[in-house]
Structure 1
């Protein structure tokens, strides 16, 4: 038999990890276009990989209706095996190409709030534990950082609560959202503050886009008139300074106001309706990487976020 023919036959019946990866991404992202963006491929390339996999398996994995795709029963049965194949492949690759335990440079990606309120306390302690490691910090949105970890542009990411089939994601801390006022505000010292009273006050509304902020909005839904939101901002530093300047009161994450609380510039107001509302920050990495550094970050994190 001709050797080239034998090679073609082997390719036709072998497992193609790229095709399987495209299949998992389409399911996770919900569309071929979004999967292509996540994989840094063109949409036709993802389509070609899915078609190739369907030929290898001799079945249809998706039903296509215009731009909408629906996984078939065959696709549902194949999905857990596809996920297991990718996980096994990546673990094997890491084992074969085992990196040194500590890199010369650790690249950290994080949201702006983490860079402002956590990294300045985290890095000095990391430097004490790993003095020979150099650090590079980049900031961005959660989606930006997820993309950079996937693209190997950063090693470790600090992001909002997120999951991804190709990343290990673990909760690092939860930051309670509380109502804060300046020290001379009439609410300070009050035994009970109602939602109606809060709604009448000038509000500086900080919102970072996380789903937890929807719960703050819902607190006011039962009222006859909307809350008195006079200023809206996506910048916690601005919101904090406006409250100190007596422009209003504001719901803020606890980590953003630690210094002002210690100085007596801001005062937390007890509002039972906000109990349990918090912003969650996760650590994301490629599976199996940077174990020692991750353990150190988790250990240091318990100290940083404790009251």
Structure 2
């Protein structure tokens, strides 16, 4: 029994017209008529009485109607269930620009090694925007700061503390814990963008009644890093974006933990883990651990 034939029967019953049913189904009238006749031959009954352009449901048609309705409803429910549970070949991730540029650029190639069939879409935006997309099922998961919302899960994934960094050949020599007034004398490039509350940095100087020597402001992390490479500037930057340079020794961290402890944890945020294979979620966690440890995990 063809499900399309049964669906055509239900549309004709609803509209009481083959012509109107055909329009609703985006089919030609002869096609709908043919489907009804095929169903009648298969059931060996007459489902409708024809009266010119009108069709009237027969007694046998009335008997068949509840069964036809149940068949189509069950089919649609089964189809929807399969669509929701089948593994997707595209994973949509929502995050801020820093995490996308520095963590996902590292992680995605590793995910592709384990899941070569997967394709990825990265959506960047604020935490609120990503949360909205998560709740409306536009993305599979977010890499954002912690959110407290009913039905939303959060798992700590990465630490992204703010670091004060300079080039290894910068003239500044830190022999003791740096003081705010001493720091205020250094040339700085200031990055003012992203999820961090940079007011904490400004307050650091305001409390001491001094003004930071900010010669350059930028909303681009790589621009800030290029100024550091001139060996004349310092900058407060998220750890994710300078991790590679700190590990290689190109940049060095100036200890300011006694002055400022500014951390922004990044959480793996989701509302339904069943949308992706359990092994993939494990791979995401494993990759984050490798990224933070600074070495390749050996199996």
Query: What TM-score, normalized to structure 1?
Result: 0.62
Match 1:219 to one of 194, 197, 204: 204
Whether 2:242 is the aligned partner of 1:257: answer yes
Whether 2:298 is the aligned partner of 1:298: answer no
Match of 2:270 in 1: 285
Secondary structure of the 1:282 match is: strand
Q: How does 1:1-307 map to 2 (within 5 A)?
A: 97=81, 99-100=84-85, 102-273=87-258, 276-289=261-274, 290=276, 292=278, 293-307=280-294
Structure 2, unaligned stretches of length 5 or more? Answer: 1-76, 295-299
Is the radius of gyration larger for structure 1 or structure 2? 2
Structure 1, unaligned stretches of length 5 or more? Answer: 1-92
Are the equivalent residues in 1 in contact too, given 2:162–2:236 (CA < 8 A)?
yes
Are the equivalent residues in 2 in contact too, given 1:142–1:160 (CA < 8 A)?
yes
What is the CA-CA distance between 1:138 and the residue it aligns to? Answer: 2.3
What is the CA-CA distance between 1:101 and the residue it aligns to? Answer: 5.9
Matches of 1:213 and 1:278, distance apart in 2: 11
Q: 1:187 to 1:302 in 2, by over 3 A?
A: same
Are the equivalent residues in 1 in contact too, given 2:188–2:214 (CA < 8 A)?
yes
Are the equivalent residues in 1 in contact too, given 2:181–2:210 (CA < 8 A)?
no
What is the CA-CA distance between 1:211 and the residue it aligns to? Answer: 4.8
Are the equivalent residues in 1 in contact too, given 2:152–2:270 (CA < 8 A)?
yes
Are the equivalent residues in 2 in contact too, given 1:212–1:279 (CA < 8 A)?
no
Matches of 2:102 and 2:124, distance apart in 1: 13
Matches of 2:241 and 2:150, distance apart in 1: 31
Q: 1:211 to 1:115 in 2, by over 3 A?
A: closer
Secondary structure of the 1:109 match is: strand
What is the CA-CA distance between 1:119 and the residue it aligns to? Answer: 0.8
Q: 1:101 to 1:299 in 2, by over 3 A?
A: farther
Secondary structure of the 1:132 match is: coil
Matches of 1:239 and 1:164, distance apart in 2: 35
Matches of 1:173 and 1:122, distance apart in 2: 12
Matches of 1:197 and 1:149, distance apart in 2: 45
Matches of 1:306 and 1:100, distance apart in 2: 34
Moved more, 150-159 or 218-227: 218-227
Matches of 2:283 and 2:260, distance apart in 1: 30
Q: 1:282 to 1:208 in 2, by over 3 A?
A: farther
Count of residue pairs brought into register by the alignment: 213
